[in-house]
Structure formats: C-alpha cells, structure tokens
Amino acid sequence: MSRKMALINYWKKDKIITTKNILNAFRKVDRKNFIPEYLHDYAYDDAPLHIGEGQTISQPTTVAIMTQALSPRKGEKVLEVGAGSGYQAAILSECVGKEGRVFSVEFLKGLFLFARKNLKNYSNVTVLLGDGSKGCPEGAPFDKIIVTAAAPKIPEPLVYQLRIGGVMVIPVGDFIQTMIKLKKTRKGVVKSDLGEFRFVPLKGEHGF
C-alpha cells in the first residue's frame, strides 16, 4: 500500500474524513505536484513542508480537517485566502467539480506564480495576486471561504462576502491558533471551535 493510501485509510478509520466526495479528491490530487522536487520523498509525511517565501504547505491531515469542516459541494463557489503552492485549491477544485468555481488569492508574488503553474490544468480554479484578507469582491458572494493562514481576528470583508448560509473556516490567533468554523445566518454568525493548530501569519490589511 502506498503511503498516500495509508494516510487516507487512517483518515477513514479515525473518521477524520467521512465524506466520499472529499476522500475522492484526496485520492485524485498528488501532493508531490505542489511541493519542490527535492521534497518529493516526503510528500506523504504527515507534516508541513517548506514551499519557499518563508511559507509552508500544511500537513495533509490539517488540510483534510479543514476541508471536512468546510464541506465543499458540487457546484459551489469557494474562496481560498492564501494559495500557497495550490494544493488546497486543487482539493477544492475536485470537490466542487466542473460546475463549481474556486478563487484563490495569494499575497506573495513568488507563490502566486508557483500556484498558478501547479494549477494550470484546473480549469475551474482562478489564482489571483492580491490581499486575500480583503477577500475577492469580483467573485463574491461565496458559498464557502477557507483561510490557510492565521488571522488576528476574523476579517469583516470575508464575512461580508460570504453568502447567507455559507461557511468559513479560519485559524485565529497569534502563536497558537484556534480553528474557527463560522456559519453566516440572517441573524448573524454562529461559531464553533475545531481545536488548536499552528499556521503561518496572514499577510495584508486584515492580517498581522
């Protein structure tokens, strides 16, 4: 059994991922395609890896937990804040299917170029260079928003750009962050705590 399938089977056994659509996305997307070549032997270590610009690709289980919490569905429009190397966007692409759309905004030009190259075959993904902490007004409103870097607090522009009934998953905090799942309702937002994690800091106007 490959290390990739061993990791996916661990997620299934421990019920980290219970959604068939999400499991299939992780089967289809090869993490090797989203990390520097010299790290390919470590692609399915359950650990973060450096991707340049002082940034990391999250460990696979963290990506799995965030994706499960977000629960992206076929046909949905999703915003990702922090493209990184493009791995999370590729997973989201498979989850929303050809009828869905993924907008991924990256603050750092080097990573923007890296992610755009890695995602060139994903026709339903648009990679943008800019301040993702301010969202993506041209694509709003979104069914789902995922933030892959730690924010000091939940950015108001992202809440504004989330559709009523939509869900956001975002790590909030400084050294150790709390992963927050937020659902937007007509009466306000409902938050739940998904536990403690470690992320690089969010850059931009509403970041650190």
- The catalytic residues are 58
| DSSP codes of every residue in 56-110 | EEPPHHHHHHHHHHH---TT-EEEEE--TTSHHHHHHHHHH-TTSEEEEEESSHH
Which residues are CB-neighbours of 85 under 8 A, at least 6 positions away? 34, 35, 51, 57, 111, 114, 115, 118
Query: Strands 162-172, 142-147: parallel, antiparallel or unpaired by DSSP?
Result: parallel
- 169 DSSP β-pair partners: 146, 181
Q: Which two tokens mark 173?
A: 């905090």
Q: Tell me the C-alpha distance between 38 and 43, whole Å.
A: 10
End-to-end CA distance of the chain: 42
Coil vs helix vs strand at 190: strand
Using the structure block, give the residue that is written with the tokens 């559709």: 163
Q: Which two tokens mark 137?
A: 């007004």
